[in-house]
Amino acid sequence: MSNKGVKFQHYDLDFKIKLAKLYLEGEGSFKGLSKEYGLKDSRQLRNWVKKYEKDELTEALSDRRGNRGRPKKIFNDREEESEYLRLENEYLKKKLLAMGEPESSIANLWSSKNLK
């Protein structure tokens, strides 16, 4: 895990592809190319080569920073958001009931986790 406030170096897709091709063409080793092109760790290049070989080194997969979790739902107004949340709550209650939670404990479960 990194320290708070540390800035990570970002490399563009063309640079990653160029280095992967250089390695695969035998122009150098992981360590040698990494040192020559200023990478902090040769594992970066090793990962790029693996992705390049699997055809996973693409623009869509290359820059995924900040795209964790499911996409944010965008609502047109408060009523739409309220209805969405109401339906989501009903769904979650049904799931808890199906898992064997008694209905009285559902409210307690929610409040104990959210009031801390």
| DSSP code per residue over 15-69 | HHHHHHHHHHTTS--HHHHHHHTT-S-HHHHHHHHHHHHTT--SHHHH--TT--S
Residue 87 shares a structural domain with residue 55 = no
Q: Do the domain assignments include residue 97?
A: yes
In a domain, 5, yes or no: no
Phi then psi dihedrals of residue 41, to 5 deg: -145, 135
Q: Is residue 7 part of a domain?
A: no
Q: Are residues 55 and 90 in the same domain?
A: no
What pTM does this model have?
0.50
- Residues 95-114: tens digit of each pLDDT: 888 888 777 676 666 666 55
Residue 34 has pLDDT above 60, yes or no: yes
Is 64 inside any structural domain? no
How far apart CA 53 and CA 25 sit, in angstroms, is 12
Would residue 51 count as lying in a domain?
yes
Domains: count for the chain: 2
Containing structural domain, residue 92: 83-110
Rounded distance between C-alpha atoms, residue 57 and residue 20, angstroms: 10
Residues 17, 54 share a domain: yes
Tell me whether residue 4 is in a domain: no
pLDDT digit string (tens) for 51-87? 999 888 876 555 555 556 666 778 889 999 999 999 9
